[in-house]
Amino acid sequence: MRNSILALLLTAGLTQAATHHILCAGLGGEPDYDTRFTSLVTDAQKLLVSPGDTVTALTGAQSSKDSLRAAIAKAIAAASPDDTLVITLIGHGTFDGTEYRFNIPGPDLTAAELDQWLAPARARIVVVLATSASGGAIATLRHPNRVIISATRSGTEKNAVVFSRFWVDALRDAAADSDKNESVSALEAFRFAALKTTRYYETLKRLATEHPVIEDTGKADAVADPSPQNGQGLLASRTPIARFGSVQKALADPAKQALLKRKETVEQAIDKLKYEKAALPIADYRKQLAALLLQLAQIQEEIEK
């Protein structure tokens, strides 16, 4: 176990992996929702701009199926196996008991079509379904090396969702960075947005009409509370989607990009170790964790110089 972690650290590449974001605002059906969905995508686009990454935002007439397919194909062609492709759909969705559809100008996008478009990708994929009825798409989209995040746990939760608002908030709010490493992972963003969604309904004293879930093993049911116990969340925890502070600045400095790569590799090793804690003698676990935390502190010190 210890050797495998050391191997992971020693074989890490020296180039910073890139994240390719594609954001799409669906049809609102009425002016208020049209404005809301477009504003969320525009806000997310501004927040996600980062050296080395790409951000494509589709709104209005550009949110068509052809435009979305072309954007995904372009990102897949540009992405290396070490990169991450994040697809974020914000709007209304429907589910007829068999098929999920994302409502966009022209023909709607089905989950089966999106799955087909993503099939050639070598990069890690995060799909954020910030729409109503999105839970109906999970079974179709789940796949190894994919993180699927859904605003609803099933296709029967059909009301407009607030999860999308809180997902975008996670990209700007340092509180989403729970481990304070100046990088928000897909898991941290999910937990932040899901908690905010729950509190929203509690504050209004309303029955919740959406229950966010996540699936990142490619073979299990989505869950609301990912943990080592249910096996969900490891891939998402190792997938950064937004960066703050010194990490954001360091991305623009070629001399520090190798340090950032090492930092993310050590953080991934820590996450992996935590998921394997139950299978290790407690003394071994603590020893390995202490060594990794020391490396992390040393790398962070170098980044901040």
Give tens-digit pLDDT for 38-70.
999 999 999 998 888 999 999 999 999 999 999
Do both 202 and 266 map to the same domain? no
Encoding tokens for residue 161? 């969702």
Distance, in Å, from the CA atom of 128 to the CA atom of 109, rounded to the nearest integer, reads 14
Range of the domain at 220: 19-243
Q: Confidence band (pLDDT; 50, 70, 90) for 294?
A: confident
| 159-190 per-residue burial string, b: 16 or more CB within 10 A, e: under 16 | ebbbbbbbbbbbbbbeebbeeebbbbbbbbbb
**Which whole number is the average pLDDT over 67-85?**
97
pLDDT above 50 (res 73): yes
Is 248 a domain residue? no
pLDDT given at position 300: 66
Report the percent of the chain where pLDDT is more than 90. Answer: 66
Do both 208 and 270 map to the same domain? no
Is 46 a domain residue? yes
Higher local confidence (pLDDT), 260 or 95: 95
Do both 266 and 237 map to the same domain? no
Do both 288 and 219 map to the same domain? no
pLDDT above 70 (res 211): yes
Q: State pLDDT tens for residues 228-281.
A: 899 999 999 999 998 875 444 544 556 656 766 676 677 667 767 766 777 778
Question: pLDDT averaged over the chain?
Answer: 87
- The structural domain count of the chain equals 2
Is 260 a domain residue? yes
Do both 7 and 100 map to the same domain? no
Q: State pLDDT tens for residues 132-173.
A: 999 999 999 999 999 999 999 999 999 999 999 999 999 988
34 close to 61: Cβ distance less than 8 angstroms:
no
pLDDT given at position 243: 81
Do both 109 and 40 map to the same domain? yes
pLDDT given at position 291: 84
Do both 185 and 258 map to the same domain? no
pLDDT above 60 (res 72): yes
Distance, in Å, from the CA atom of 247 to the CA atom of 253, rounded to the nearest integer, reads 10
Distance, in Å, from the CA atom of 297 to the CA atom of 205, rounded to the nearest integer, reads 43
